[in-house]
Structure 1
Amino acid sequence: MSTAAIAADGRGSSIPDPEYRDLLASVTEWVEGPGEEWADRIETGGTVPDALWKELREAGFLSLAAPAELGGRGLSFVQWMGLMEVFSRSHASVRMIVHVVNGTWRAMNPHADEVQRRKFVLPSVAGDLVVAFTLTEPGNGTGADITSSVRRVGDTYYLTGRKHLITFGVRCDYWLLFARLEGTSGSAGTVALLVDRHAPGVEVEDTSQTMGVRGTDHASLAFRDTPVPVADRLGAEGDGLSIALGGFLTPSRISVAMSCVGLAQRAQQLAVDHALERTTFGKPLAARQAIAFALAENAADIEAARALTLHAASAWQDGVPDAGSLSSMAKLTAVDMLTRVTDKALQVHGGIGYWKTAPIERVYRDARAQRFEEGTNEIQKTVIARGILRQAQGPRADAAPADPSAASAARL
């Protein structure tokens, strides 16, 4: 299988509409049935059991977004967003698993040689290999100011540095890790490495005690002269940051935006059900104008964010030049929408919604996490503003990085 024969990012794939509708119904049935049972188990135990990973893998839910040539289902990106919308109504850890596993291959595949494709990409798409995206560091931002470094001795890099907030960094098989050549600065000296989870010279600290998204493991990592074969480097020396922020970040931001839409839909559903069932002073809550207006505002908010997210998804799928700016607009809009919707949904529940026995309590906690995924609101605003100003300047625009994640602004 040659590199040229593979659609690197899957944008040319799609499945027939009847097949897609059947798949959408199957995912919805799982989310509303077994998915709810898994949610209770995750919240009770605080971890995602291996059996859930196995169930998701065997159902084919971990290989939906990749092209058929890589062993995936071959969905278009817009089709995949329709499924993400449904998955996101489930427990946040379920959403996180399908989001990450169905996206990490996008960073690897365009830069992998045939050996790397067989060793890393195909097993990742199949769900047999968990690859954790490993960029963020504790002492600086998430881009050109990374300080984790490697020195090369023959056919081996020796890695030294720290990473933190790494999703699935404990249970993964490899870290897709971004560092820089010793003595370099800026983006020119960065490298993308696939680092074996069990390589020597690594300390892994489980930092999974979070406000929400319970069960999704997160790690803090320390490397001291950890050996990494040069053969496990993606792309060339100097390509690291472009691999991290190129074909991965834009679709991932759109996916996070759609996850906000799905979770908001779940919050709205819980609020509507409660408003219809709860009676005060002889009338259901839904009959009270203040409650009805809150539900109406939520519905409009959700639809607006959904429309913008699908617009961004179509733009990225079609290769539209401003897809990056649209992805940031979608994420900015969707996370703010989710904050408003979940707050009103909790208010509709009254005091009972504050107890852990109420499903809205978990939804409310989980909603806060999306504000940090793939860049804060401040990052998104900077991306959008740069796009606006670059377009206004036309040919006079300089070559400033399109995404502030590639500069010190990432520490916001």
Structure 2
Amino acid sequence: MINSTLPKLRNDYPAEFPSGLKQFKTIIHQQESDQENNKIKTIINEKLYLKLVEDQTCLNWLNDIQPCESSLSVEEILKKYREAFHRIGSRSFDLHGEEFQNFCLRVTNRMSRENVRKLSYSKSHADKRLLRGRVYAIGSRVDVAWDGTMNLSEEQVEEKRSQLIDHLSSLTLYDWFCPELKPEAPLLIDELLDSNLLKTRSLRMGTQEVVELVSKELNDSSKKVAWVNFANAHNVCGTYCVDYGGSQEEEVATNCDGAALLGTVGKLIDTGMKSFVRGRWVSYKKGLHLPPGGNYFTKTKFVTGSEPVDCYMIAAAFADFRPFVPFFTPYSERNYFYSWYGYGNITNEKELEQRLILDIEGVLKTCADQNIHTLVTGASGCGAFLHDPFREAKLWRKCLKKYENSCLKQVIFAVFDLEESPNWAAFSEAFNQ
């Protein structure tokens, strides 16, 4: 039963969420009693990352094209690959398959960094699959360097193994408002004064580009930079396998090893109505879903920019206010706060704000706990989840007041929208005055 101090929360599926722990360290910490040298040798070999048996049709195509790859230009290879992707079918090109990953690495290693980055913006799912095959290989394999180089020396392999373990070790699931604990009341503040102790600004740039910019500006590895991945509470990275769709933040998560890390607490789903329509997707394992106000925190590295950039990801599932649709949006909370089963007016503004604050403050609590210096986030929930950007920006301002004397010194809102868009207007008005 949800504690009465919390706003209305959808809890139709309580078995899917964490229970009883304010912090839940996942997977890697089960090995903490092992000897340190044994950890380095065994953890990566325990198949924590998602793996599948590769499709024979895809293997046949890869075997046919590999002998002539060196004689073809990158453009010619891409053309043949795109044709095969659509002819054979996306499911055959499994981004967890080692041979397909090797193909992705060989092709993208011949491309300029700028052109590799462009694959993320492509409207072609074939292009996105190619990029993710590269990134997932880099983010989960000890025999691939962070720049995509293969055929590493034994010393380089062990160094990469230690780095992957470092990232896995940081993966933490926070359940700040767990109903089985005595929760702190959500932050509710009326009118607030501006603070000069915590710098805020909005930039019309993508999240990754802002993180790269800030990392150069700070030039100090001790000042931790975190960014918010607008996650789904039940599905890992939304379009994890890129058969359908893809929002800004979901694309950002697959330009670093963040998606691969979240995949370690997920399972592949390729049956049922949703899979028939949208293709293979990844759900969190039982008990590892994102709770309201909770989030995953992990150390990550962007690998598709001009150079690798170390940073931290906070994967948070902001309230879903889309209309309820079985199979596709079954976890919508819209009818809790809007009349006429979610299609009318707001029924209680105070309760709605309490619900929104829960997720915002959950992110800020994690920043405080992890000693984050700079937070980069977008217009949280103001895309597919249908949050009102002016209300969202107002609540961020209120919540940030509480953290003006914390470790958090800078919050940047990366709102990569048109200048006339409501999202940019709301966050620019709130944080660029």
Same fold per TM (> 0.5)? no
What is the TM-score when the length of structure 2 is the normalising length?
0.28
More helix by share: 1
Q: Which has the higher contact order (CA 8 A, sep 6+)?
A: 2
